[in-house]
Amino acid sequence: MNVIKTILVWILCYFSVHTISAQQTYNLNGCVKYALENNHNLKKSQLDQEKSMEARREIMGSLLPQINGSGNMNYNLKKANFIMPNFINEMLPANAQDPTAPKYMTIEMGTNYSAALAASLNQQIINFSLFNALEISKTAEKLADLGIESIEEDIIAQTANLYYAIQSTIYAAQQFDESIGLIDKMLQSLEVSYENGLIKKVDVDRVKITKVNMMTQQSAISNAVEVQKNLMKLQMGLDMDYELSIEEIDLSFFENKAEQTLAYSFERNQILPYRLLQEQHNIGQLQLKSVQYESLPTLSLGLNYQHNFVSDEFFRGETYYNYPASMVGLNVRVPLFAGLSRSAKLKGTKLELQKIEEDKSILDQSLTMAYKNAMLKLKDSKATIDAQRENRTMAEEVYKISESNYLQGLASMSDVLNSNSSLVQSQISYADALNKYMQAYIELRKANGTIRVLIDNKQF
């Protein structure tokens, strides 16, 4: 029974380990989707978007009835005295009046206790500035949405570039592994020949030096892979201790992509920077209206209800009274003179709009330039791929011939080592050319505003 339990535990552990390993391998689509869900900069922008939504709700709340309640209770430690003409003495008959009576007399007013409960309502009827502020908040919300889209596009492009850079660097490290493996085989053969007195020790040492140099280069490339993976983890929002693993490079995919016909359109209205600036222009126009509306009158409705309580005793006895009071009215506010500040503010807002118009012209030129440069870069990368492919083919032929000649005693060890080094370099250069082509392709997609269509593809 214990044996069965042990076997089951081992089976569970086996599948658990393989499940975890599978989860650690990401393709490009997985990296992009994970980054779009967990990137910290994107989360900050989403919080800004929620904040803009709440700002719009706050302004909408100002257009609804504003209802307030209040209450108070007072105990008059010292009642107020009022001074008034001594009308009592004057009301007496002339012969009964006191000639020495003071001209004014004081009368104590009020009760010992007083209280009141009140409720008020205020409703905006005409307030163009407030209505315009609501439109500004709606436009600001659109601006926040576009800001999120812009960051998402940056994340897609940056993640894809990092992904292909990691694949290319891993491929370079693998080429060094293969080359070092060939040198190890050659070194074993040379050591046997040296022991038999067929070659000199210097020939063996030269190969060992070459191997050490290649291992040093391989170590530097391996470290570069880890640096790139750390950048990818930062981009994706992964923990730095997480063991990130991505799919191996597929050279055929790169080659097929490079063979595709280059036909891409350019519509500036689809490009996010242009759309963002257009929304900023819309906000500028609304801000101009906001300044103009400051000179218009506002109209609001006011309602007030209050119930009062008074008494010399604590709200009881024959001196206890309570009575209601209510009021309804229209409040009109008409701005008459603002010390010319409104005029200066209006001119300043118009100048800001002119600056945005200039920014649109500059952006239009910049976007067109970026698109044309991306097209040129893509075409140049394609030409580089063709050249590096031919160079790799020649390096493979040279290595095969050098190796064959060396085995037949027709070539030196230096010829073999040099041809091997050239072959490795040509293979790395070819993979790097493919990587740069994909980066140029992503740059072009971003330049013409179509990079988001690539999210649903398994590979870019």
309-329 pLDDT tens trace: 999 888 888 889 999 999 999
- Percent of the chain past pLDDT 90, that is, above it, reads 17
Q: Using an 8 Å Cβ cutoff, are 123 and 65 in contact?
A: yes
Name the strand (E) or helix (H) holding 236.
Answer: helix 201-236
In terms of DSSP bridges, do strands 245-246 and 25-26 run parallel, antiparallel, or are they unpaired? parallel
Hey, which residues does 309 pair with through a beta bridge?
115, 322
Mean of the per-residue pLDDT values of the chain: 84
Q: Which class for 421: exposed (0-12), middle (13-18), buried (19 or more C-beta within 10 A)?
A: middle
The reported pLDDT for the residue numbered 458 is 46
Which residues 6+ apart lie within 8 Å of 442 measured at CB?
157, 160, 161, 451, 460
Give the pLDDT band of residue 23 (cuts 50, 70, 90).
Answer: low
* Three-state secondary structure call for residue 447: helix
Q: Using an 8 Å Cβ cutoff, are 206 and 183 in contact?
A: no
3-state secondary structure 98-156: CCCCCCEEEEECCCCEEEEEEEEEEEEEECHHHHHHHHHHHHHHHHHHHHHHHHHHHHH
Mean pLDDT in residue range 35-62: 86
> What span, in angstroms and rounded, lies between the C-alpha atoms of 130 and 296?
12
In terms of DSSP bridges, do strands 298-311 and 321-333 run parallel, antiparallel, or are they unpaired? antiparallel
Torsion of the alpha carbons at 449, 450, 452 and 456, rounded to the nearest 10:
180
The string of DSSP letters for 302-330 reads EEEEEEEEEESSSS-STT-EEEEEEEEEE
The size of the chain, in residues, is 460
Residue 158 has pLDDT above 80, yes or no: yes
Nearest alpha-carbon partner for 225 in 157, 176, 167: 167
370-409 pLDDT tens trace: 888 988 888 898 889 889 889 988 988 998 888 788 777 7
223-244 pLDDT tens trace: 999 999 999 999 998 999 898 9
> What span, in angstroms and rounded, lies between the C-alpha atoms of 74 and 310?
9
Q: Which residue has the tokens 């894809």?
A: 160
Residue 190 has pLDDT above 80, yes or no: no
Give the pLDDT band of residue 221 (cuts 50, 70, 90).
Answer: confident
Q: Which residue has the tokens 């007399």?
A: 105
The reported pLDDT for the residue numbered 261 is 63
Q: Using an 8 Å Cβ cutoff, are 133 and 422 in contact?
A: no
Mean pLDDT in residue range 420-440: 85
Lowest-pLDDT choice from 194-208, 332-346, 426-440: 194-208
Mean pLDDT in residue range 303-309: 94
Q: Using an 8 Å Cβ cutoff, are 232 and 244 in contact?
A: yes
Residue 90 has pLDDT above 90, yes or no: no
The string of DSSP letters for 157-206 reads HHHHHHHHHHHHHHHHHHHHHHHHHHHHHHHHHHHHHHHTTSS-HHHHHH
192-208 pLDDT tens trace: 877 887 777 887 888 88
